[in-house]
Structure 1
Amino acid sequence: MTKENPHSLPTSDTVLHPIRLPFGRSSQNIEDIRSVDDDDGFVFHIDRSLLLDYTKLVVGDLIGKGGNSNVYNGWYEDRPVAIKKVLLPETTDEATLECKANFQREVNLLSKIEHKNVIKFVAASDGPMILITELMEGGSLQKHLKNIYPITLSLEQCLSYALDISQAMEYLHANGIIHRDLKPGNILLTKDQNHVKLADFGLARDDICDEMTCEAGTYRYMAPELMSKNPLPKGAKKSYDHKADVYSFALTLWSLIKNQIPFKDRKDLMAAYATMNNIRPSLDEFPEEIVPLLQSCWVEDPKLRPEFKEITGTLIRILQNIYTTKINALASIKRDVEANGESEAESSKENKNLLKRDVEANGESDNIIAQYPRMDEKKLKNKSKFKRFISYFRSCIAF
């Protein structure tokens, strides 16, 4: 890669080094981390500084389980981290080799990636297979959406998350990396829940070729070109490219905005069958400004799908239009409030004159004349303040 590429991966002196490190101090769940049934190692192409030193590792609580891994929180070199231990399958030797290959590929890839919207790699070991990354305290996007269901996020928040994802994918594709499993469960939230980062590179590929393993990923978010209507042998190859991630992005964005699982009324395989038959999730009552983007991203022909650079630009324009509309609305409210203030002042002056004439006609003293108008003005002033506050408060909530 040339230096002119703004998305190029950082370069460093890498070593071919088989990992065999001694275990250090124990902690609450260290035995769970250390237990391993095999002793077959392999090599990582990573810098020596990224090799796991168990003497610096403190394991905390189990915070999540995946199909082939357990995730713990903990500390490494006095920083909070997530500790992912890969579990070997209890099936065939072929499955075991595939699991190890995926782990090795994930470590080699993630250790080279530096992007604000990709989870940060910290360290790794193969004895057992452990991956240490930064701790994302906001949890997964999938879990967050489930926790707030049936409430949906604001359109602005959805598009902000989508922009984070698109920028991360733009970076990956610029470096020849396909994720192949883009979905809400592999997107993690920051502690303040303002941003998201992409995670889980177990199925990612950096050696894009004409043919790759078919049906890699999750059926509900998988592009149709990865699937086949006819049964294929395990590990069979199909021709597809990075545009498969664009399709998965579209289904992820749909799920994010609707807070629903795509094809929720169908089983996994039936959802895949629907995808292959060019059926897509409903766009009824969907935000109009997002529909063209979704339709272009999940079109059946991968060549017609946009690149993530284009998607990023589209999302920025949509967000700018939304914010411009809201800013103009706020400015209009401000003008109305100011106009109402002037109108109420004129009304107050007129009421004061009327009250003065009524009091004088009834023969009241000047003190009473002076007192009543002031009381009336004070009430009008307080009422005006309250109305302005309510208007401003409502506009802030809407914004």
Structure 2
Amino acid sequence: MASEYHQLSQSQSDTNTMLLFQMSLACSSKNVENRSSDSIVSDFVFDIDPSLLLDSDKLFIDEIIGEGSDSVVYRGWYEDHPVAIKVIHPETTKDAPSESKLKFEREVKLLSKIQHTNVVKFIGATVKPSMTIITELLEGGSLQKTMKSIYPLTFSLEQCLSYALDISQAMEYLHSNGIIHRDLKPGNLLLTKDKNNIKLADFGIARENICDEMTCEAGTYRYMAPEILSKDPLPKGAKKSYDHKADVYSFAMVLWCMIKNQTPFKDRKDFMAAYATINNMRPSLDDFPEVITPLVQSCWMEDPKLRPEFKEITGILIKILHNIYREKINALASLKRFEEAINKSEEEISRAQHAPTSFESTNENENISKQESETVRPNGETDGDSQKKPKKKNKIKRFFSFFRSCISF
């Protein structure tokens, strides 16, 4: 009976979860020209490889774990495997739904090509009843939420550098494959369950086949490179000349953010933070670790050409981490030798305290030598006893000889 009740409860729970999912998809955007978002999506013809599409009936949704300007990310399951489900919201203007569709297609195609241990793993996508992107679920949450949870504490320098190395290796892979992320920030960096590693996520505004002219002011103002920004207002969709080095600038801001556990230009509003960046202002490096300061300064240089490539950054981070660990190993080795010396001294002192005096030692050694030299005979006599008896017999013989001589006299 209990088993049947459990199965019934589980079935009801699954039904409720599915209903919640369908409702969330149906309500993911407002009607456009008296048509629902579902009907808008149904009108689209998607240029996506069918092998990348999943069966939406096997998809179940749970709680919200993230939200962006045009999407919501849910925790969920696909065929009993935990996943992250990103639901795309078509825009509410007349022409925007097709733009959302093109953006969705671009992100799906891009993610399907990326295979790297420090990039979130793509599982598949759905186009009905709504546009969704399904990826692996990172139980550790975002770097941004983790930093907020430990504030005002900070990560150790080693942990920051380890995270930075994960990010750098991911970005090195992307750039080597002609991909620019354009929105590198703590909110798009996800932690593994054990909090030991980072994976890069959200390729919504990433671009492939990098060219000279790209959309200006793409990304997040506080982490955006100065060449993407503009002092003067530009028309919507206006193009600017910049390249993959914009990601290097964002990396510097992320690294500063991790080490300080602070938001860049936290006392300024977004537009004022952008204004500070354009005017070559940077976050303070007071009390910043000297070992990493030169790298940060080179990465956020105003001139993109002076910024290093991620291949160089990876090498620098590996070298710094190696030196830190080597110093720790040497320190531990010195401590071990120190402890061994102390233990040896304590043993010598203990032996000295329990050692006999020279006179006692001499007599004791003589007695031991004498005892060791004596042999026990079958009658229980020792060599010492056997040596004593002949002397006694000789004395008796001499006495009787003297007594006989006296009688004869």
Name the TM-score, length of structure 1 as normaliser: 0.79
Identify if the C-alpha distance between structure 1 residues 347 and 93 changes in structure 2 by more than 3 Å, giving closer, same or farther: farther
Over the aligned positions, Cα root-mean-square deviation in angstroms equals: 1.9
State yes or no: 1:298 paired with 2:300.
Answer: yes
The equivalent of 1:331 in structure 2 is 333
Gapped runs of 5+ residues in structure 2? 1-14, 29-35, 361-409
How do residues 312-331 of structure 1 correspond to structure 2 at under 5 angstroms? 312-331=314-333
The equivalent of 1:66 in structure 2 is 68
Stretch of structure 1 that moved more, 243-252 or 78-87 = 78-87
The partner residue of 2:46 within 25, 43, 47 is 43
State yes or no: 1:227 paired with 2:229.
Answer: yes
Counterparts of 1:42 and 1:322, CA distance in 2:
55
State yes or no: 1:104 paired with 2:95.
Answer: no
The equivalent of 1:256 in structure 2 is 258
Task: Report Cα offsets for 1:142-191 as digits up to 9, x if no partner.
Answer: 00000011111111111111111111111111111000000000000011
Aligned-pair distance for 1:88? 2.5
* Counterpart amino acid of residue 44 in structure 1: D
The equivalent of 2:272 in structure 1 is 270
Stretch of structure 1 that moved more, 278-287 or 33-42 = 33-42
Identify if the C-alpha distance between structure 1 residues 350 and 109 changes in structure 2 by more than 3 Å, giving closer, same or farther: same
The partner residue of 2:56 within 28, 50, 54 is 54
Gapped runs of 5+ residues in structure 1? 1-24, 361-399
* Counterpart amino acid of residue 31 in structure 1: Q
State yes or no: 1:309 paired with 2:311.
Answer: yes
Overall identity of the aligned pairs, in %:
66
Task: Report Cα offsets for 1:104-126 as digits up to 9, x if no partner.
Answer: 21111001111111001111122
Stretch of structure 1 that moved more, 50-59 or 341-350 = 341-350
Counterparts of 2:227 and 2:80, CA distance in 1:
45
Instruction: Indicate if the aligned counterparts of 1:177 and 1:208 stay in contact, CA closer than 8 A.
Output: yes
How do residues 87-236 of structure 1 correspond to structure 2 at under 5 angstroms? 87-90=89-92, 92-127=93-128, 128-236=130-238
Instruction: Indicate if the aligned counterparts of 2:25 and 2:87 stay in contact, CA closer than 8 A.
Output: no
- Larger Rg computed on CA atoms: 2
Q: Which has the higher helix share?
A: 2
Instruction: Indicate if the aligned counterparts of 1:44 and 1:107 stay in contact, CA closer than 8 A.
Output: no
Counterparts of 2:137 and 2:118, CA distance in 1:
14
Task: Report Cα offsets for 1:220-241 as digits up to 9, x if no partner.
Answer: 0000000111111111110000
* Counterpart amino acid of residue 115 in structure 2: E
Identify if the C-alpha distance between structure 1 residues 254 and 94 changes in structure 2 by more than 3 Å, giving closer, same or farther: farther
* Counterpart amino acid of residue 94 in structure 2: D
The equivalent of 1:31 in structure 2 is 22
Stretch of structure 1 that moved more, 211-220 or 48-57 = 48-57
Task: Report Cα offsets for 1:76-96 as digits up to 9, x if no partner.
Answer: 123110111112233x33444
Give the 3-state SS of the residue equivalent to 2:349 in structure 1: helix
Counterparts of 1:289 and 1:191, CA distance in 2:
29
Instruction: Indicate if the aligned counterparts of 2:112 and 2:122 stay in contact, CA closer than 8 A.
Output: yes
Counterparts of 2:48 and 2:334, CA distance in 1:
59
* Counterpart amino acid of residue 41 in structure 1: F
Instruction: Indicate if the aligned counterparts of 1:177 and 1:204 stay in contact, CA closer than 8 A.
Output: yes
* Counterpart amino acid of residue 93 in structure 1: K
Instruction: Indicate if the aligned counterparts of 2:48 and 2:105 stay in contact, CA closer than 8 A.
Output: no
Aligned-pair distance for 1:30? 2.0
* Counterpart amino acid of residue 117 in structure 1: N
Aligned residue pair count:
331
Counterparts of 2:191 and 2:45, CA distance in 1:
32
Aligned-pair distance for 1:27? 1.7
Name the TM-score, length of structure 2 as normaliser: 0.77
Give the 3-state SS of the residue equivalent to 2:116 in structure 1: coil
Counterparts of 1:95 and 1:235, CA distance in 2:
13
